[in-house]
Structures are given as structure tokens and as C-alpha cells.
Amino acid sequence: MPLQAAVLGLAAVGATAVALCRNVLRQIIFSGIYGLVLVVLFVVLQAPDVALSMLVVSGTAYPLIVLAAIARTRGRAPEADE
Amino acid sequence: MTRRQVRGALALPVLGVLAVLLLWGFSGLPPFGNFHGLYGQLLNHIALPQRHTTNVVAAVVFDYRGFDTLGEEFILFAAVSGVVMLLRADDEQEPPAAEVESPMLRYFGVIAVGVVLLVGIWLVAFGLVTPGGGFQGGVILASGTLLIYLGEGYAGWRDAIRSHWLDALEGGGALLFALCGLAPMLTGAAFMQNILPLGTFRDLFSGGLMLIENLGVALAVTGGFTQLFLEFMEETREADAPEEPGEESA
């Protein structure tokens, strides 16, 4: 139980960090770390198969697609980013 | 008051209401660790003797509700096809030369590709006896190919990954899964009925037809996700070298 509470707390901190971060690239890194916390949370809550899917989706697929989108939009409208 | 302060003042009551609703909802939940799903409890009891798999989730996905998975398989297929149709450029440009300078990154990439692919194959192979399976293993295999991109750059990645092979992998995997449903019907059994020998309990080759379905899902997911990565990476490449407006041909 204390382990579960600790990881839930970490997830809350991670989600807040993602939401409050204003730099897009840094935000992707934060979201990756937050995803990793969620992976640990799933393992702690005894859902290892969900954790495996989450590991790849939050660690690779999601950051990659967001990065590709950022690269694409910056190429089109360089003045629009921060 | 500035705009920002007005927005903050408006958000506070909404957040308060949301918090009350959430607390109200959570207070009605059953105690932590209590599970009242009859379907799940039933499956936990019958899946092991009936299907000889220790991964009950896999038994549900590939056997008891295999028909649903067939639908999901084609959702993935349709999604990837849609992305490819939307994003694929008409003209095949020459990719830029590899620009990865760091030798450490290259060595790490080459070593890590093997390790990650091995983990992916392991997850697929033991999908029915450990928490893993075709989807998880397939996604890990697909992201393993991305490490080639990290280590060798776009050109090296395109050399290693052939788009046509990915199409064949994805389509072939989905076809294999559909055939696993149709083949038992030739023998007079029901759609996707597990007609193969179930094997020894706890053994790697246990689960009968589910082994082949698992492989089909792994192939389809590997091909589909790598194809997605390929298409999105092409987007970044075009951003690196924007086309001249006058050069576009009809």
C-alpha cells in the first residue's frame, strides 16, 4: 500500500509537471518520464501486460509522433513557436 | 483584472465542482483490491484447465473473444492504411545522407537494436504463458527498428527498412489471423474454435490455435507500427528540406 501511494503521488507530480511545462520539447521529455511513472504504477497494481504496452506507447510511439508533428509545423511556420 | 485573472477566477469554481464530483465518485468505489467482475473470476477458473495458458488475458483476446480481436486487427490495418494514404508523398525523393556524428550513439544503437529485437521476439514467443503477447512484442519490435534511425540516421534506416516488406508483414499477419478463424470451419467446427492440440500446461507450446493467432498479431503489429513510424519520419525529413514552391510538378 505505501508503495502504491508513493507511485500514485509520483504520477500526480509528473502529470502536473507535463501540464505546467511551457517549452514543447521539454514537455515531451516530461511526458515520457510521466509515462514511465505510469508504467511503474501499472506494475505495482499488478497489470504487467498493460505496463508493457504503456512502456512502448509512452516511451516511443507518442513522443515520436509529437516530435514529427512539431518538426512539420515548425518547418511550415517558424514564427509560430515559442 | 487582466484576462488571465478572469480566466483563473472562472476556472476555480469549475475545478471545485469537479473535485467534489470526483470525491463523491471515489467514495462509492469498492475497497481497494476487491474485484466483483463475475466474468473475470469465471475466466480465471476455467481458462487454465480449458486452454492450458497461464496468461488468461491472452486466452480471452485470442480465444474466448477472438472475434473481437479480429475486428481490432482490422481497425489497426485501416488506421495504418489511412495514415499511409494521407501522408505518403507522390515523389520518391533521395533521402539526405546520414548525419549521425557521434560514434557512441552509433555503437549504442547497433547493440541496442539486437537487444530490443530479442526482447520483442521473447515477448511474442512466450505471449501465452507470461504477461506479454503479440501486441506488446510487436510494438517493441517496431520501436526496436527506430534505434537504427537513432544510430544510423534516416538514410541508414531507410536502407534497413523496406516499405513493401512492412506492407506484406502487416497484411500477412492480419490474413493469418483471419485464416485462424476460418480454418476450423473447414473441419466443421465453429469460427475460431481451438481445434489444435492444446499442449502441456505451462509449456511454451501450449494454447493450440492461439499460438498461430499470436504470431499473426505480432506480424501485423510489427509491420503496421513500423509503417507508421516510417510515414511520420518522412514528414520530419520533408520539414528538414522544404520543397521550393516553383519546383512542384503537376
Backbone angles phi, psi at A29, to 5 degrees: -65, -45
Please check the confidence at residue B248 and state whether its pLDDT lies above 70.
no
Whether B83 and B229 have beta carbons less than 8 Å apart is answered as no
**Which residue numbers of A have CB closer than 8 Å to B's CBs?**
1, 48-49, 52-53, 56-57, 59-61, 64-65, 67-69, 71-72, 74-76
What cell was used for B240?
Answer: 528538414
Distance from CA of B223 to the nearest CA of A (A): 14
Annotate B172-211 with three-state secondary structure. HHHHHHHHHHHHHHHCCCCCCCCCCCCCCCCCCCCCCHHH
pLDDT at B32 exceeding the cut of 50? yes
Q: What's the pLDDT score for residue A82?
A: 42
**Measured between beta carbons, which residues in chain A are less than 8 angstroms from residue B60?**
none
- Range scoring the smallest mean pLDDT among A78-82, B24-28, B152-156, B180-184: A78-82
**Between B50 and B85, the higher pLDDT residue:** B85
Could you give the CA distance from residue A33 to residue A15 in angstroms, rounded to a whole number? Answer: 10
Which residues in chain B are contacts of A76 at CB distance < 8 A?
A: 239
Q: How far apart are the C-alpha atoms of A7 and B198, rounded to whole Å?
A: 39
> Which ipTM score applies to this complex?
0.74
Task: Write out pLDDT tens, residues B165-220.
Answer: 888 888 888 888 888 888 888 887 778 777 777 777 767 777 778 888 888 889 99
Distance (Å, rounded) from C-alpha B184 to C-alpha B140?
Answer: 31
Q: How far is CA B180 from CA A35, B201, B237, in A?
A: 35, 22, 39
**Are B139 and A61 a contacting pair at CB < 8 A?**
yes
Nearest chain A Cα distance for residue B146, angstroms: 9
CB B225 within 8 A of CB A61: yes
The residue that leads in pLDDT, B197 or B20, is: B20
Chain B contacts of A67, Cβ < 8 Å?
236
d(CA A81, CA B61): 44
Question: Between A and B, how many CB-CB pairs are < 8 A?
Answer: 55
Give every CB contact of residue B93 below 8 A, 6+ residues apart in sequence: B241
Q: Return the residue in B35, B113, B136 with the most chain A beta carbons within 10 A, the one to mutate for interface testing.
A: B136
pLDDT of residue B98: 55
List CB contacts (< 8 A) between B143 and chain A.
56, 59-61
Provide the grid cell at B30. Answer: 469498492
Which class for B68: exposed (0-12), middle (13-18), buried (19 or more C-beta within 10 A)?
exposed
The verdict on a CB contact (< 8 Å) between A61 and B238 is: no
Show residues of chain A in contact with B228, CB under 8 Å: 61, 65
Shortest distance between the Cα of A52 and any Cα of chain B, in A, equals 6
Q: Rounded to whole angstroms, how far apart are CA atoms B114 and B34?
A: 42
Tell which wins on pLDDT, B157 or A18.
A18
- Considering only the beta carbons, identify the residue of B123, B146, B235 that sits closest to A60: B146
In chain A, % of residues over pLDDT 90:
39
User: Is the pLDDT assigned to residue A49 strictly greater than 60?
Assistant: yes
Contact between A27 and A67 (Cβ < 8 Å): no
- CA closest to A5 among chain B residues: B32
* B136 against B1, higher pLDDT: B136
The closest CB to that of A60, out of B143, B235, B236, belongs to B143
Q: Do A64 and B146 touch (CB under 8 A)?
A: yes
For residue B245, pLDDT over 50 is answered with: no
Q: What is the pLDDT of residues B35-84, one digit of tens each?
A: 778 888 888 888 887 777 788 888 888 888 888 888 888 898 899 889 88
Indicate yes or no: CB of B146 within 8 angstroms of CB of A72.
no
Q: Categorize the per-residue pLDDT at B99 as very low, low, confident or very high, splitting at 50, 70 and 90.
A: low
Q: Are the Cβ atoms of B132 and A52 closer than 8 angstroms?
A: yes
pTM given for the model:
0.77
- Contact state of B236 with A74 under an 8 Å Cβ cutoff: no
Q: Are B225 and B143 in contact (CB under 8 A)?
A: yes
DSSP B77-118: HHHHHHHHHHH--SS-PPPPPP----HHHHHHHHHHHHHHHH
